[in-house]
Amino acid sequence: MFLERISQSPVQRRGCIEVICGSMFSGKTEELIRRMKRAQFAKQRVEIFKPSIDTRYSESDVVSHDKNVITSTPVESSSTILLLAQDVDVVGVDEAQFFDPGIVEVCTELARRGIRVIVAGLDVDFMGRPFGPMPQLMAIAEDVYKAHAICVRCGSLAYVSHRLVDSDKRVLLGEKEEYEPICRECFNQLFPDNQLT
């Protein structure tokens, strides 16, 4: 389990970037919420941002599938985070795969200001392709945690969120009836000719 190094002293405050990634149903939002709540317990000021495209449940809350709730702010673009993240110790970013490429610079700048940045997002899309700015965020992070769901077909560790509805749209916000987590073996059986493009 990830154990953070929380410093109470503003003098010792050090910025850093942590990434929590994985397929849908892997528990990555739960892990983001766990870390944010622990920071709150440590009397740190926390703020969560998510892209306004993600309006599955609520306009202003980050809600994981098991209904854990922590208040968040939906933003249109990553640059807005820099304006809004004033007087905070920890910034959480949820559904980071949907953000514009500028999110990489934004996270770097926040960390430069001494802020701990915790980013959660899908590492790959429904065809197993690296998703949006996630590869760059994983590259610049001090710590990367890959969460895994369980393959609904064979019980192995899942790595991709297989889409059950027929659509080519990459951005299709998911619920249980639209996606299933599956492992590489089962994915290869479904798509024997799939080439990463």
Summarize as ranges the residues that interact with Zn ion (CB under 5 A).
151, 153-154, 156, 183, 186
| Residues belonging to the chain | 197
Least distance in Å: CB of 188 to Zn ion? 10
Residue placing its CB nearer to Zn ion in the complex, 23 or 78: 23
Residue placing its CB nearer to Zn ion in the complex, 22 or 133: 22
Residue placing its CB nearer to Zn ion in the complex, 144 or 157: 157
- Of 95, 109, 142, 175, the active-site residue reads 95
What's the CA gap between 2 and 125, in Å, rounded? 25
CB atoms within 10 A of CB 154: 12
Is 30 catalytic? The answer is no
Beta-bridge partners for 71? 61
Least distance in Å: CB of 186 to Zn ion? 3
Least distance in Å: CB of 157 to Zn ion? 9
Least distance in Å: CB of 161 to Zn ion? 13
Residue placing its CB nearer to Zn ion in the complex, 90 or 149: 149
Which tokens sit at 57?
């449940």
Residues annotated as catalytic are 95
